[in-house]
């Protein structure tokens, strides 16, 4: 697809840049990781996106994860329509909030109480506050390469040592906001042990993606998971799994159900809202009962539990529960992962395919990716050529080497074959 076939998108982006910082409302949409300009979407259906120039793409982003049932799923759309006809917001409780809460708690047994919010950032921010309030402690541990939204205390970069106090990673985030954030390397169990030895009674919580999607797909080692649970339990810290991405994606019960480990708190988003702005945080009753009005930890939101979002989310979870797609997704994901890896191998490019269920990343990297330092050695330029080559073939992949791709139950086996064939053509003509 040449630039001449994206003229309307180019004009729309030029206009947007005059109105919106950088022309986008989230940096992930800006295509900075691959160069060029973003396309503007007109509509979507099933496994396809359509841009305003009329081009059709096989979609492997799925709104960055939520669209596990495909775009414009009829039952979800009907649920939103019915809810909208009754009113779009009330600022008062509705039964659908409890309906969604029950579905979440039934799917994720570690969640004994749950609070609905409007974004993943809000969920992680609130979970950290509640953990601090419940423990009376201030320090938290996060891991380099894990993204938990644009929360001030979590926008920090790792230093050179194994355990370093966080340094702000964005203008506008003060050193005071990050002074109690400790950044460790993912999949390094000894660093967890050493940090608790250094601060045995000061750490309120550890937060992590139990399967990372924000430096590309990275899977935790059993030793890493064991250290997380043992050290937090021994020292009275709260273990928080950020399952905004993995919840209801890698399994109905999330990553924690695959690993057989129960965190103390969990954050959810994306699929839990059925594609509408909704997220949640929850956990043990003894922790969650600290949240106002049950307790003293303040958190509120005017649009929390929005009736359209709860209708979409509850309907999505009920479909996933009653007609689970996970076996089908696993089968097609295995085929897709093998096919993309084979295409890279055939072209002679060093690569690593890392996958968990229907989320995966093809890293242009000579070594397996286990943490941010290894991820950071990936060939960004090669990935950019791969991305744009697939766009020309009508395949829309994530616009960064450091994002996971997702697909839906509406992707047919022939779509997977088409994608693999396209990858072979693109990689064969790349330098």
Which active-site residues does the annotation give? Answer: 147, 242, 270
Half-sphere exposure of 267 (CA within 13 A, CB side): 32
How many residues are recorded in the chain? 431
C-alpha distances in Å from residue 176, one per residue of 167, 202, 274: 10, 17, 36
d(CA 199, CA 351): 39
End-to-end CA, the chain: 19
User: Among 224, 162, 148, 234, which residue's Cα sits nearest to residue 195?
Assistant: 162
Measured in degrees and rounded to the nearest 5, phi and psi for residue 107 equal -80, -30
204-231 b/e (C-beta count within 10 Å ≥ 16 → b): bbbbbbbbbbbbbbbbbeeebbebbbeb
Say whether 266 sits in a helix, a strand or coil.
strand
Helix (H) or strand (E) holding 204: strand 203-208
Contact call for residues 44 and 59 (beta carbons, < 8 A):
yes
Residue 135 tokens read as 């423990």
**Cβ-contact 281, 123 below 8 angstroms:** yes
Q: 142: buried, middle or exposed (CB in 10 Å: 19+, 13-18, 0-12)? A: buried
Residue 143, phi then psi, degrees to nearest 5 = -125, 135
- Sign of the CA dihedral running 349, 386, 360, 27: positive
Burial of 242 (C-beta count, 10 Å sphere; 0-12/13-18/19+): buried
Written as six digits, the tokens of 49 are 């996106």
Quick one: angle between helices 189-198 and 222-235, nearest 10?
20
Q: How many whole angstroms separate alpha carbon 250 and alpha carbon 247?
A: 7
Q: Which residues pair with 405 in a beta bridge?
A: 360
Cα(31)–Cα(398) distance, integer angstroms: 9
CA 412/CA 47 separation, integer angstroms = 9
């Amino acid at each position: 697809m040449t630039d001449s076939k994206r003229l309307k998108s180019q004009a729309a982006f030029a206009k947007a840049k005059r109105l919106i910082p950088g022309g986008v409302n989230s940096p992930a949409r800006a295509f900075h990781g691959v160069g060029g300009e973003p396309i503007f979407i007109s509509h979507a259906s099933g496994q396809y996106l359509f841009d305003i120039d009329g081009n059709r793409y096989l979609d492997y982003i799925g709104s960055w994860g939520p669209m596990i049932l495909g775009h414009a799923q009829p039952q979800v759309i009907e649920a939103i329509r019915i809810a909208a006809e009754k009113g779009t917001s009330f600022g008062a409780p509705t039964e659908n909030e409890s309906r969604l809460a029950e579905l979440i708690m039934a799917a994720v047994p570690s969640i004994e109480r749950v609070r609905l919010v409007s974004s993943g950032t809000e969920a992680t921010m609130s979970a950290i506050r509640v953990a601090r309030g419940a423990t009376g402690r201030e320090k938290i541990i996060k891991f380099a390469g894990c993204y938990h939204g644009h929360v001030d205390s979590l926008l920090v970069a790792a230093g050179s040592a194994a355990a370093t106090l966080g340094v702000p990673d964005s203008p506008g985030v003060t050193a005071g906001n990050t002074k109690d954030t400790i950044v460790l390397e993912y999949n390094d169990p000894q660093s967890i042990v050493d940090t608790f030895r250094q601060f045995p009674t000061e750490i309120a919580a550890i937060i992590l993606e139990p399967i990372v999607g924000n430096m590309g797909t990275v899977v935790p080692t059993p030793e890493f998971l064991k250290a997380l649970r043992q050290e937090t339990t021994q020292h009275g810290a709260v273990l928080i799994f950020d399952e905004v991405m993995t919840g209801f994606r890698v399994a109905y019960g999330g990553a924690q159900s695959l690993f057989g480990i129960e965190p103390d708190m969990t954050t959810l988003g994306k699929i839990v809202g059925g594609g509408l702005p909704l997220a949640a945080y929850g956990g043990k009753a003894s922790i969650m009962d600290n949240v106002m009005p049950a307790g003293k930890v303040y958190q509120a939101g005017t649009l929390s539990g929005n009736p359209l979002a709860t209708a979409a989310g509850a309907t999505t979870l009920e479909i996933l529960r009653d007609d689970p797609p996970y076996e089908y997704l696993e089968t097609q994901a295995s085929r897709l992962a093998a096919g993309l890896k084979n295409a890279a191998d055939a072209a002679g490019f060093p690569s690593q395919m890392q996958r968990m269920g229907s989320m995966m990343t093809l890293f242009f990297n000579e070594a397996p990716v286990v943490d941010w330092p290894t991820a950071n050695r990936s060939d960004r330029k090669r990935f950019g050529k791969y991305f744009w080559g697939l766009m020309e073939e009508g395949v829309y992949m994530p616009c960064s080497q450091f994002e996971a791709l997702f697909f839906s139950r509406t992707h047919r086996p022939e779509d997977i074959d088409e994608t693999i064939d396209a990858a072979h053509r693109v990689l064969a003509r790349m330098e």
